């Protein structure tokens, strides 16, 4: 599978602020920035309205930029349960927008993204923003942090995507081979029982 030219949308999910980005995979490890921004929803609005606004905004981005794949941060326990729940609701509508368009979604933990971008799974925000700025050749650091995080997710998928695709293909080949062996074994058992 050729990843050069692939458009990757990176999403740093959040209900109040959701970072969105689109990059294009270049030759080798080159990554070209296409767009970056942050969608905000008013904290005083009802949950349904906020989710609807988020869904509409990400849908518009997907329709405008036509990503081939989405890389999104995996929701995990951070301490405040209500914050995690709101983020999980946001992830649900974001994944739904991608699913409606037939766009595959890959989930990455923050440590996976940090490791891919900086080589250190515990890199801080400043290190990550600096690396994202350098990798994309930007003249200034993307702001706010949600925008930089969305770009980091997109870059992470550009770099990890080829290995994930190769692993999936190898798994499919192994499953097909296993089915062949099972069919052959069944044929042999039948032949032996007929004799």
- Give the residue numbers of the binding site for Mg(2+): 12, 73, 146
Which parts are annotated binding residues?
Answer: 12, 73, 146
Rama region for 38: left / alpha / beta (φ>0; ψ in -120 to 50; rest): beta
Q: Assess whether 73 carries a catalytic annotation.
A: yes
Contact between 60 and 20 (Cβ < 8 Å): no
Q: How many CB atoms lie within 10 A of CB 68?
A: 15
Maximum CA pair distance of the chain? 78
Tell me whether residue 84 is exposed, middle or buried, using C-beta atoms within 10 angstroms of its C-beta: 0 to 12, 13 to 18, 19 or more.
middle
Q: Assess whether 68 carries a catalytic annotation.
A: no
| From 12, 64, 112, 149, the catalytic residue | 12
Q: What is the DSSP letter of 122?
A: T
Alpha-carbon distance of 177 to 72, in angstroms, equals: 33
Q: Assess whether 124 carries a catalytic annotation.
A: no
| From 46, 49, 73, 169, the catalytic residue | 73
- Smallest CA-to-CA distance from 40 within 23, 60, 65, 15 is with 15
Give catalytic residue positions: 12, 73, 146
């Amino acid at each position: 599978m050729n990843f050069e030219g692939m458009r990757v949308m990176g999403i740093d999910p959040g209900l109040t602020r959701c970072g969105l980005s689109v990059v294009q995979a270049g030759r080798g490890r080159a990554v070209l920035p296409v767009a970056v921004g942050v969608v905000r929803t008013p904290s005083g609005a009802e949950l349904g309205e906020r989710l609807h606004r988020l869904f509409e905004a990400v849908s518009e981005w997907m329709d405008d930029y036509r990503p081939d794949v989405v890389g999104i941060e995996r929701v995990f326990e951070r301490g405040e349960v209500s914050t995690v729940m709101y983020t999980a609701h946001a992830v649900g509508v974001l994944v739904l927008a991608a699913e409606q368009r037939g766009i595959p979604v890959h989930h990455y933990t923050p440590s996976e993204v940090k490791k891919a971008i900086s080589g250190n799974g515990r890199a801080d925000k400043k290190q990550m923003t600096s690396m994202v700025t350098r990798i994309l050749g930007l003249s200034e650091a993307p702001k706010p942090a949600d925008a930089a995080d969305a770009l980091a997710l997109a870059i992470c998928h550009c770099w990890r995507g080829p290995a994930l695709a190769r692993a999936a293909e190898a798994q499919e080949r192994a499953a097909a081979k296993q089915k062949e062996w099972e069919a052959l074994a069944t044929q042999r058992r039948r032949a032996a029982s007929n004799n």
